[in-house]
Structure 1
Amino acid sequence: MRRRVLTSVLAAGALSGVVATALVAGQPDSSEEKLRLSSVADEGPGYAVEDFAYPQADKILAEQGILLKRGDGHIVLAQCGSSPDLLEIYVRHENTDKFCFRTTGPSGYLSLELPAVYGVRTTEYATELSTTVDGEDHQYDVAANSWAPVGETADPEGREHVLVEIVTSS
């Protein structure tokens, strides 16, 4: 029995010596080799970090005149008339009288800049809109499946409001 234990210990010791030699031999000898290996590692792909920026925002701004900034992906710009259940934001705009948004999920968030807002028609989602005018912030809580004046039609002075945020919840 002692012989087996002794043989096992000697075999384990020899194996650890081989592993240690292989590890030492595998280390780069020169500083150039170390630099090359670290450079290859540095060239690898970086980490993906979600910044929630709206995809193709520059193109949409150039083509449609609406600046879409950030969101959670549950409120997206849609072609008006493409579906009966779109959130409609009414505006005084040179190319259109409204912008439409598809809402999904139990809640949604979108920050944007849309000038000359005057009304909203909601879908099955309750909607909170934030506007700004002359440095003042205004909040509008609009019930689901309704139409409401927002911005300049709700402003006693009729000032031009910029829509800066949409939040929806079911």
Structure 2
Amino acid sequence: MRLLGYLAVAGLTAGAVLGGAGAVAATRADAAAAAEETASLVEDFAYPGAEKILADRDILLKKGDGRLLLTDCAVGADLIQVRSRGRDPFCFEAAGSGAWVTMELSDAFLVFSDSEHTTVADYTVDGVSDSAVVEPGGAAGIGEGQTEGSSAVLLKLTAS
């Protein structure tokens, strides 16, 4: 960012010396465009394709670090799997320790971990927050039986 600032100042100075006011205005516009491009490089952790996933699969994926990605639940694949009432299972592939994704998945009731990672599922039941720790290769129920007639909303998965 600092380098862009130095380049913009150098460009403004050169433009003023070589071409007068017209060159200065053009150089300022170029510097502003370069600064605007640089601003888009800031990571916001927004989940890519979240709108399409919501429309197609009714799961709201909010943010993530890019290392816990929604994927197809292939039979026999070593994936993190989430089950929710009235939907097909959702599967995530973890690419490294500390991978995470935030979401809103209603009626969640079961989380399976892959064979390599301990998976932590953060969820709420009737507005009360809780977490389940799922050991590698294991499974844990979430929300079921905590309050009769209530279901869990899965908020976050972390693979470590």
- TM-score category by the smaller chain? 0.7 to 0.9
Q: 1:50 to 1:82 in 2, by over 3 A?
A: farther
Kept in 2: contact 1:110–1:165 (CA 8 A): yes
Tell me the equivalent position of 1:123.
114
Count of aligned pairs between the two proteins: 144
Deviations along 1:93-121, whole A, 9 cap, x unmatched? 3x42x111111212211101111001111
Tell me, in whole angstroms, the C-alpha distance in 2 between the residues paired with 1:62 and 1:114.
13
Q: CA deviation at 1:138?
A: 1.2
Deviates most, 136-145 or 112-121: 136-145
Whole-Å separation in 2 of the counterparts to 1:30 and 1:106 = 56
**TM-score, scaled relative to structure 2:** 0.79
Shift of the alpha carbon at 1:77?
0.5
Matches within 5 A, 1:45-60: 46-47=37-38, 48-60=41-53
Question: Does the 8 Å CA contact 1:107/1:167 hold for their aligned counterparts?
Answer: yes
1:59 partner SS: helix
The answer as to whether partners of 2:123 and 2:131 remain within 8 angstroms in 1 is yes
Q: What's the CA shift for 1:83?
A: 5.0
Across the aligned residues of Structure 1 and Structure 2, the Cα RMSD in angstroms comes to: 2.3
Cα drift, residue 91 of structure 1: 0.6
Kept in 2, the 8 Å contact 1:118–1:154? The answer is no
* Percent pairwise identity: 31
Contact kept, 8 Å, 2:47 with 2:64, in 1: the verdict is yes
Query: Where does residue 126 of structure 2 map in the other structure?
Result: 134
- How far, CA to CA, are the matches of 1:106 and 1:148 in structure 2? 20
SS in 1 for 2:82: strand
Return 5+ residue gaps in structure 1 as ranges: 1-22
Corresponding residue for 1:147? 139
Residue in structure 1 matching 2:31, options 26, 38, 41: 41
> 5+ residue gaps in structure 2?
1-12
**One-letter amino acid matched to 1:50:** E
CA contact (8 A) 1:129 1:140 kept: yes
> Which of residues 63, 67, 72 in structure 2 aligns to 1:74?
67
Structure 1 Cα separation of the partners of residues 148 and 45 of structure 2: 35
- Tell me the TM-score normalised to structure 1 length: 0.75
AA in 2 matched with 1:150: I
Match of 2:79 among 82, 86, 92: 86
Report the alpha carbon displacement of residue 46 of structure 1 after superposing the two structures with TM: 1.3
Query: Which has the larger displacement, 80-89 or 60-69?
Result: 80-89
Runs in 1 of length 4+ with deviation above 2 angstroms? 23-26, 28-33
Per the TM alignment, residue 143 of structure 1 is displaced from its structure 2 partner at its CA by 1.5
Residues of 1 paired with 2:123 and 2:30: CA distance? 50
